[in-house]
Amino acid sequence: MKPARFDYVRAETLAEAHAVLAESGGEARVLAGGQSLMPMLSMRLARPNILVDIMRIPGLAEIAVEGGVLRVGARITQAQLLAWPDLSTRLPLLAAALPWVGHAQTRSSGTVCGSVAHADPSAEIPLALLALGGEVELSSRKTRRRVAAQDFFVGTMSTARRDDELIEAVRFPLKTPGDGFAFREVGRRHGDFAIVSVAVLVRGDTVRVAIGGVADRPQARDFRTLDGAALADALDQFAWSLEARDDLHATARYRRDLVRSFGRDVIEEARRCRG
């Protein structure tokens, strides 16, 4: 299990990283924390010709509140975001979800943006970004744009990012007064990828439910405040619409059951935590 050959570029500026991506014709890959890319290189599931290490580029290591949004730069690790002092009050959903991303020993290297770029269907950070209605900041040598999470995740490990673009930052909308949040996940062991994960945001009379681990990407639905049988029906429809499949870890039926029962419980919890 050793990676195949590649050139390694330690980019010192954003412009250098952009240039390598632009000139490589899709043969280059960004190397951030390496917690997903390195296993893929070792297993030879990925065979890029060039790796561009972005972890020494100044200016990408910032966590900043901009208006109602937390902007998290590309070098910020999952551990650094967890240690942001206002996380539990201003981004309670992430405070609940981040401890589920791997282990302390991987969160210390793995980046927030890297998880979004990797777009694993059961990953917690993409799920939270979608539930909160966040955005991804992309830039290339010639362009810069923001893409809503809703449009960014396209399929299993597939996103709207073009080969010459890198993610400079992701933007998480902060809690507004009265919001309620909750997150829960079922996996075989803590730190394993989710079989099903559920994130809920209650705002005004809308309940947004986002589900990870079932479809090929995280999926969210907005419901008007519902209760009892109406809520059960809505969750049941949502569960079926995700087109769950059987795999090594769980059957499709078990996944649908989890969406229904967890969905209800997590909505309850989010309502209780409003404030």
Partner 1 sequence: MPRLTGDARHRVRFTLNGAAVEGEAEPRMLLSDFLRHVLGMTGTHVGCEHGVCGACTIEIDGVPARACLKLAVQVEGARLRTVEGLAPAPDRLSVLQAAFRRHHALQCGFCTPGILMSLDSLLRERRDADEAAIREHLSGHLCRCTGYAPIIAAALDAAATLRGAS
Residues found near ligand FAD in the complex (CB under 6 A): 29-37, 54, 74, 100-102, 106, 110-111, 113-115, 117-118, 120, 123-125, 166-167, 191, 193
Alpha-carbon span 103 to 98, nearest angstrom: 10
Give SS3 for 42: helix
Give the one entry of ligand FAD, partner 1, none that residue 53 binds, where binding means its C-beta sits below a cut-off of 5 to 8 angstroms depending on kind. partner 1
The answer to whether 187 touches 262, Cβ cutoff 8 Å, is no
Angle at 186 between CA 117 and CA 209, to 5 degrees: 65
Q: One-letter amino acid identity for 54?
A: I
Q: Which residues contact 143 (CB under 8 A, 6 or more apart)?
A: 165
Question: According to the binding rule CB under 8 A, does residue 114 interact with partner 1?
Answer: no
Using CB under 8 A as the criterion, what x/- string covers residues 52-91 for binding partner 1? -x-x-----------------------x------------
Give SS3 for 38: helix
The answer to whether 95 touches 187, Cβ cutoff 8 Å, is no
Q: Which is nearer to partner 1, 38 or 232 (CB)?
A: 38
User: What number of other Cβ atoms are within 10 A of residue 45's Cβ?
Assistant: 10
The answer to whether 124 touches 100, Cβ cutoff 8 Å, is yes
Q: Which is nearer to partner 1, 80 or 261 (CB)?
A: 80
Give the one entry of partner 1, ligand FAD, none that residue 257 binds, where binding means its C-beta sits below a cut-off of 5 to 8 angstroms depending on kind. none
Among 44, 190, 253, 272, binds partner 1 (CB under 8 A): 190
Angle at 128 between CA 123 and CA 133, to 5 degrees: 135
User: Going by DSSP bridges, is the β-strand pair 135-139/69-73 parallel, antiparallel, or unpaired?
Assistant: unpaired
Q: Which is nearer to partner 1, 102 or 134 (CB)?
A: 102
Give the one entry of partner 1, ligand FAD, none that residue 29 binds, where binding means its C-beta sits below a cut-off of 5 to 8 angstroms depending on kind. ligand FAD
Give the one entry of ligand FAD, partner 1, none that residue 95 binds, where binding means its C-beta sits below a cut-off of 5 to 8 angstroms depending on kind. none
State the nearest-atom distance from the C-beta of 60 to partner 1, in Å.
15
In the complex, the residues that contact partner 1 under the rule CB under 8 A are 1-13, 16, 31, 34-35, 38-39, 41-43, 49, 51, 53, 55, 79, 99, 102-106, 108-109, 189-191
